[in-house]
Amino acid sequence: MESVSWYLGSFKMSASAIIFYIISAFILGAGMLAMMTRKIFRSAIWLLFSLIGVAALYFWLQVEFIAAVQIIVYVGGIVVLIIFSIFLTQQSGNEMPKQPLKRTIASVLSVLFGFGLTFLQIWKYDFQPSTKNFDWSVSKIGSQMLGTKAGGYALPFEVVSMLLLAAMIGCIVIAMKTPGPSTNGKAKNRDLETIREGSETEITINEITGT
Amino acid sequence: MNDVPISHILFVSTALFFIGMYGLFTRRNMITMLMAIELILNSVNINFVVFNKYLYPEKLDGIFFTIFIITIAAAEAAVAIAIIINLYRSHRSIDVEKASEMKW
């Protein structure tokens, strides 16, 4: 009884700790639901909540810039993109097929062992928090991001900008429809495929009408 | 702020990482696997920010790594979704087990 009340007392020590535990429970609960529900659209929505929870964790850590970037890029960009692609590729009401039990058990076990190992490592390690004040500001980030002296991130910045350009062009090329008969090989294969599919559907239609 | 030890925040990010790993192991739908990868990248981002804030507050490298990871995650998601949609066009399915040949 004593120890329980002591634990409760230490948990209630500050409001910020309580807020942290609420946020982390939210993140983990939403993430777990996102990975376990069998309806893909619900999965996307739970992922959205989990990412919002991570943004809240950044707000709690008082790195508001990263929190804002997280909300803009992840919540406003990536999740919307994922929901678009869900609507383009499947019927959102359908449930995904159940996985074989063996695979589920194996993955649960491996995940638990991995978590246990990492947990022990973190638990045993003695972190020495620095007492200095964490001083970030957007102007500091900006001047270091484009700095060419020691500690500057000008080169990675340029490389990432090239990568974004390459990704954009790559997306357009991949998602573009190949123009019909002028391209050889590919188009022929696709025509064969459609012919095969067509004959299959014809056969099924004949079967249906025959019976 | 300081009454939550670093290790508790790291436990949260570790748990998030392994939830993502679980999703990556069990799901066979490409879009849900992409979601699992996003969760994993998020847990790594939390780690970077926490290490930067608590252990090396005089530097900003963790913040930069987080920003770059978010950028690359966005690019990666866009390319992955383009590939998925293209695959759906040719195979009528986005199940990884059904996309067994690499011809198209």
Give B71-103 pLDDT, tens digit per residue: 999 999 999 998 888 888 887 777 887 777 765
Cβ neighbours for A92, distance < 8 A, ≥ 6 positions apart? A39, A40, A41, A86
Dihedral sign of CA atoms A90, A96, A100, A104 in order: positive
Are A78 and B81 a contacting pair, CB within 8 Å? Answer: no
CA nearest to A112 within chain B = B18
Are B45 and B75 a contacting pair, CB within 8 Å? Answer: no
Check B29 against A13: CB less than 8 A apart: no
Torsions phi, psi of A129, nearest 5?
Answer: -65, 140
Of residues A136, A129, A21, A127, the one with CA closest to residue A69: A136
Instruction: Tell whether A149 lies on the interface with B, counting CB pairs under 8 A.
Output: no
Q: What is the reported pTM?
A: 0.81
The alpha-helical segments, DSSP class H, found in chain A are 2-11, 15-36, 40-60, 64-70, 79-89, 101-124, 138-145, 154-175, 186-210
Structure confidence by residue, pLDDT tens digits, A24-48:
999 999 999 999 888 888 999 999 9
Are B14 and A122 a contacting pair, CB within 8 Å? Answer: yes
Of A43-52, A106-115, A179-188, B16-25, give the lowest mean pLDDT range.
A179-188
This model of the complex carries an ipTM of 0.91
Measure in Å the smallest separation between the Cα of B3 and chain A Cα atoms. Answer: 7
